[in-house]
Amino acid sequence: MDFSGNVRPADMERISTAESAQVFIDEAIKAVRKQVGDGKVLLALSGGVDSSVVAALLIKAIGKNLVCVHVNHGLLRKGEPEQVVRVFRDEMDANLVYVDAVDRFLDKLAGVDDPETKRKIIGAEFIRVFEEEARKLEGISFLAQGTIYPDIIESDGVKAHHNVGGLPEDLKFELVEPVKFLFKDEVRVVGKALGLPDNMVYRQPFPGPGLGVRCLGAITRDRLECVRESDAILREEFAKNGLEGKVWQYFTTVPDFRSTGIKDGKRTFEYPVIIRAVNTKDAMTATVENIPFDLLSHITDRILKEVKGVNRVCYDMSPKPCATIEWE
């Protein structure tokens, strides 16, 4: 298989079965070995589908010559950084550098309430942390990226949310992009064939700036925990009730204001949690999922009982347009 150029080879078969995935995996391993030889390859491993599939593929192809860097910026969902370490370091025996950059990101974001400025800070800080880690490592000449075919078709091959396009000139590596001719559904089939867990392979879309765009306004640690904990409850209940994989995207958002409530006969002044669940084909327009009322009530009860600092739960009924999917 030839990964040069930016056009999917006309004779490349669609990958839809375990057998076709295995044919691709064997070919991709050969191509990667031919490209990098004994060289070392660096990969920013977010735990998202694309970078996880690239990691699993490269571990098979070059083992410890792949160095995965997982940056925990504090804006990941509950359990995600732990899962990356468990799956890749413990189970696949990967060469994984785990960077705890939580304080660093949250300090940089303190007091910043403009959504686009928040995004820029998260992206720029990610590049800085990744660059620092890359400089600590020696003898690396390749950079692997989870570029997929829609990235090439839609945005000149730049994987925007991987944020590695902005590395300084003296850190320019040769790119290794083994899934760059695959569509998302094909990447998932390959991931499954590589033995990645279902909740990694079939996960719903998650924005690059993570929970940062769901902790509205200036991010505070207490509200970030409200977002993370309520999102975990929502995901758990959707999974238990057969909605995982059926609803395109679902999450919670916590605004930067409080409202009055009452608990144990005393007034409270706490945050609301807003639930959003939408369906779409291409994220350009979206409709609201009709969630059974009983399930919404149950999720509301759990959030009010289990998430500290929350006294109200709302369901966002707005389609896109007029609303966007995310609140920021």
Q: Is 109 in the site for ligand XMP (CB under 6 A)?
A: no
Please, what is the minimum distance in Å from the beta carbon of residue 323 to ligand XMP? 8
Q: Is 325 in the site for ligand XMP (CB under 6 A)?
A: yes
Q: Can you tell me which of 128, 258, 298, 320 binds ligand XMP, judged by CB under 6 A?
A: 320
Asked whether 304 and 318 are in contact (CB, 8 A), the reply is no
Q: Can you tell me which of 12, 18, 153, 283 binds ligand XMP, judged by CB under 6 A?
A: 283
Q: State the Cα–Cα distance between residues 267 and 289, nearest whole angstrom.
A: 33
Give whichever of 260 and 324 is closer to ligand XMP, judged by the CB atom.
324
Q: Tally Cβ neighbours within 10 Å of residue 188.
A: 22
What distances in angstroms separate CA 265 from CA 261, 270, 312, one per listed residue? 10, 15, 16
Give whichever of 124 and 137 is closer to ligand XMP, judged by the CB atom.
124
Asked whether 59 and 32 are in contact (CB, 8 A), the reply is no
Stretch that binds ligand XMP, among 10-18, 31-39, 171-179, 202-210 (CB under 6 A): 202-210
Site of tokens 């991987």: 162
Give whichever of 312 and 320 is closer to ligand XMP, judged by the CB atom.
320
Please, what is the minimum distance in Å from the beta carbon of residue 51 to ligand XMP? 12
Residue 103, classed as helix, strand or coil, is helix
β-pairing, 66-72 vs 95-100, is parallel
Query: Which distant-in-sequence residues (6+ apart) come within 8 Å of 244 by Cβ?
Result: 202, 235, 238
Asked whether 23 and 16 are in contact (CB, 8 A), the reply is no
Element spanning 80, H or E? helix 80-84
Give whichever of 84 and 325 is closer to ligand XMP, judged by the CB atom.
325
* Stretch 209-228: interaction string toward ligand XMP, x if CB under 6 A: x---x---------------
Q: Is 207 in the site for ligand XMP (CB under 6 A)?
A: yes
Give whichever of 192 and 320 is closer to ligand XMP, judged by the CB atom.
320
Q: State the Cα–Cα distance between residues 26 and 28, nearest whole angstrom.
A: 6
Q: Can you tell me which of 49, 208, 299, 311 binds ligand XMP, judged by CB under 6 A?
A: 208
Asked whether 142 and 39 are in contact (CB, 8 A), the reply is yes
Task: Supply 321's token pair.
Answer: 């347009």
As a residue count, the chain comes to: 328
Please, what is the minimum distance in Å from the beta carbon of residue 46 to ligand XMP? 10
Q: Is 165 in the site for ligand XMP (CB under 6 A)?
A: no
Give whichever of 125 and 270 is closer to ligand XMP, judged by the CB atom.
125
Q: Is 161 in the site for ligand XMP (CB under 6 A)?
A: yes
Which residues of the shown chain bind ligand XMP in the complex (CB under 6 A)?
A: 119, 161, 205, 207-209, 213, 249, 283, 320, 324-326
